[in-house]
Amino acid sequence: MPESAQTAYLNELNPPQREAVINVEGPSMIIAGAGSGKTRVLTNRIAHLISHHKVDPFNIMSLTFTNKAAAEMRGRIEGVVGNEARNLWMGTFHSVFARILRAEASRLGYPSNFTIYDNDDSKTLIKQIVKQYNLDDKLYKPNIVYNRISGAKNRLVSWQEYQNNPIYSEDDLANQRPEMGMLYETYSQRCFKSDAMDFDDLLFNTNILFQEHVDVLNKYQQRFHYVLIDEFQDTNISQYMIAKKLAAVRQNICVVGDDAQSIYAFRGADIQNILNFERDYPDLKMMKLEQNYRSTKNIVNAANSVINKNRAQLTKNVWTENGTGDLIELIKATSDNEEGRLVASAIFEAKMQDHTSESDVAILYRTNSQSRAMEEALRRMNIRYRVVGGLSFYQRKEIKDVIAYMRYVINPNDEQAMRRIINLPKRGIGPGTIEKMVVAATEENKSLWEIMEKGGSLIGGKGGTQVQGFATLIKSFRLTAEKKDAFETATTIAKNSGILKDLHSDKSIEGMSRYENVQELLNAIKEFTDDPEKEDKSISAFLQDVALLTDEDRNEKSEDAVTLMTIHMAKGLEFQYVYVVGLEEDLFPSQMMLSSRADLEEERRLFYVAITRAKKKLFFSYALNRYRYGRLKTCDPSRFLEDVNPEFIHINRKFRSKEPVLVAPSFTTKNFVKNVKKEAVARKVTHVNHTPSKDFQPSDPALLKEGSKIEHPKFGFGTVKLLDTNGSNSKAKVEFEKAGEKTLLLSFAKLRILN
């Protein structure tokens, strides 16, 4: 290959990118800001090693976090160096180290064809062990035990060390799980006897291999002359220790990442790996990619203003030569349901006016349960969408379980609903008992429901008694449904069926998410019954609405569709239009992430990731009220809104709430969030039900003066204390007789001047 062809790719790089590509010797860290061309630099660096420095691809290890990223990088490298790229040791941590373990398995007592357990395999085994030792399966749920063991392995804590560490023992005792150490030991031994490793073992056992077999470690140190790690901020202790050992001889280790995008602590990622990397390598070359090619200036600068609030970070100044772009639009809604409507309206307008493709739009939220209001609003406006990283809200298992109960309460001949719930939560009715019911129904020429009502006499044994008890439970739910509305009926079912209790007792991340989803379903039903336009508020009417919403259609499968996903799932992606919704205290930041500065800073990094997904237009939205746990809760705006430099924010008045805007000054004033919080307090304290005068007619706001006596259709009579005229943002501070002091935006407020 001619030299010019070998290095042509260098001409496509900016100076910092070029520096990061050509400086290949010794330890180096490439801090890659959002949208700065990280993948291009990493792939070109590897291509440069092969084409310019003549490094054999067999001597290069490149570690990523997804197979998709590895395939994309390999394809790009192949475009520069040809088929030689196929010889790279490139892939995810788990795939690359599984390859090493296959070759060296005998050193650890495993055959080379050992089985790799996935999460379901692991949890099934844990369930069997818990049953074997007659432990309480409510306390020792598979998710809880699995996550505890996984966390220990990611910290390189063996079962022996776990059992000998009094901190773990005391913690388990405090959580009423004193047998956790024994379960870890038994689980590990059972895996070993089955010639199986779980996902965590692929990392844990590689560390053991290198620690206990120095000759093996030396072999791979000599093989891999260069070690490169992508998304280094997402590595855990186990991953970093392996890479560090492999690079110990030649010190040619290159890590690429962005501490500002470290958002996976709940998976074991340790941000200290990237923050303290320089301590391990004092002669480190640090290179910074700070030019953003993705977003507008306003979006980039807004993101910088947010992340600068974090104390634990590596200094960088992300900038862009892209256009200034539009200000970030702030959408303020009275409720989460209306938030969905306003966001859907904004998307619809973008489609109509800007000819925006639906695939260019993403709605990002903190928790999966928030998708419900967004999905319903998009469907009503006939906007195609797809939910990424999870099923559509009403297709999630826990939601389908509760709805199956409702369906069966309304229609006891619904066999599919019956089969789904008859042993949920577990009540000792297995497949054998159900088969006996089917046989009895056939012989007696009766419906399954009739057989269930007489379960004890027709089926016999303990199973028959359990079936009859289940039928009695359903009858009680039917009585409730006949007398109560949909919300009261659904709440009774969720509580008395045992589903809520079962989900609430699971404190794993997955368990808490499922519990929140059921609570969100109850919120949806509460909104249904609170809707004055709904004449029929029964559970059957709600189920009909849901059936219409959940019909299979092209929305779920269309490529040209709005993307709905959690912010965690959005990392690494980009969209022309991004809506970050639910920016309220206790939701984002999450209430569970407020116990320490480290947790709060991770939440702020998550907000930073959300902002930097947007290329052209960015929207923030929040609700003044949100249904949570079946109650309408007053919400405060997220503290993160205050982190954004207000000069990059604009109040979106096209998609404002139908309700009067109490406080809506331009967000260019730094007191915005404080004013909104005052407003929230005012809403909690003052509830004024004023009936406007019969001759009420709004006056021209231009005639207002300080001292004017006025009447407001909602807050009643008051006196103008202060006027601030600033074009369309003109506002008045009014002292009302009953509602107290309010600041009103005159372009929205309807005021009648009395003098």
- Enumerate the active-site residues: 38-39, 230-231, 261, 613
Q: Which of 67, 10, 63 is nearest to 40 (CA)?
A: 10
Number of Cβ within a 10 Å radius of residue 194: 13
Distances, alpha carbon 399 to alpha carbons 74, 199, 421, 595, in Å: 41, 29, 12, 30
- 3-class SS letters over 426-487: CCCCCHHHHHHHHHHHHHHCCCHHHHHHCHHHHCCHHHHHHHHHHHHHHHHHHHHHHHCCHH
Count of residues making up the chain? 755
Which regions of 23-88 does DSSP assign to beta strands (E)? 28-32, 60-64
Distances, alpha carbon 208 to alpha carbons 111, 157, 246, 415, in Å: 16, 11, 13, 53
73, two tokens: 């990088």
48's CB contacts (< 8 A; 6+ apart) are: 7, 9, 10, 21, 22, 24
314, two tokens: 């590596």
Residue type, 62: S
CA dist 434 and 419 (Å) reads 8
Q: Which of 511, 515, 485, 510 is nearest to 628 (CA)?
A: 515
CA dist 83 and 67 (Å) reads 19
- 3-class SS letters over 567-611: HHHHCCCCEEEEEECCCECEECCEHHHCCCHHHHHHHHHHHHHHH
CA dist 652 and 328 (Å) reads 9
| Torsion sign over Cα 270, 273, 279, 280 | positive
Are residues 347 and 561 in contact, defined by beta-carbon separation less than 8 angstroms? Answer: no
Q: Which of 33, 90, 45 is nearest to 254 (CA)?
A: 45
Distances, alpha carbon 286 to alpha carbons 28, 29, 48, 610, 712, in Å: 6, 5, 19, 26, 61
| Torsion sign over Cα 31, 35, 36, 41 | positive
Name the CA dihedral angle for 304, 309, 315, 317, rounded to a multiple of 10 degrees: 20
Burial 61-92 (b: 16+ CB within 10 A, else e): bbbbbeeebbeebbebbbebbeebbeebbbbb
Distances, alpha carbon 250 to alpha carbons 209, 225, 227, in Å: 20, 7, 10
Q: Name the strand (E) or helix (H) holding 98.
A: helix 93-104
Are residues 564 and 389 in contact, defined by beta-carbon separation less than 8 angstroms? Answer: no
Q: Name the strand (E) or helix (H) holding 117.
A: strand 115-117
- Round the CA-based radius of gyration of the chain to a whole number and report it: 30
According to DSSP, residue 369 is labeled G
> Three-class SS of residue 386?
strand
> Three-class SS of residue 620?
strand
Distinct helix (H) and strand (E) counts, the chain: 32, 22
> Three-class SS of residue 699?
coil
Query: Which phi and psi angles does 83 have, rounded to 5°?
Result: -65, -15
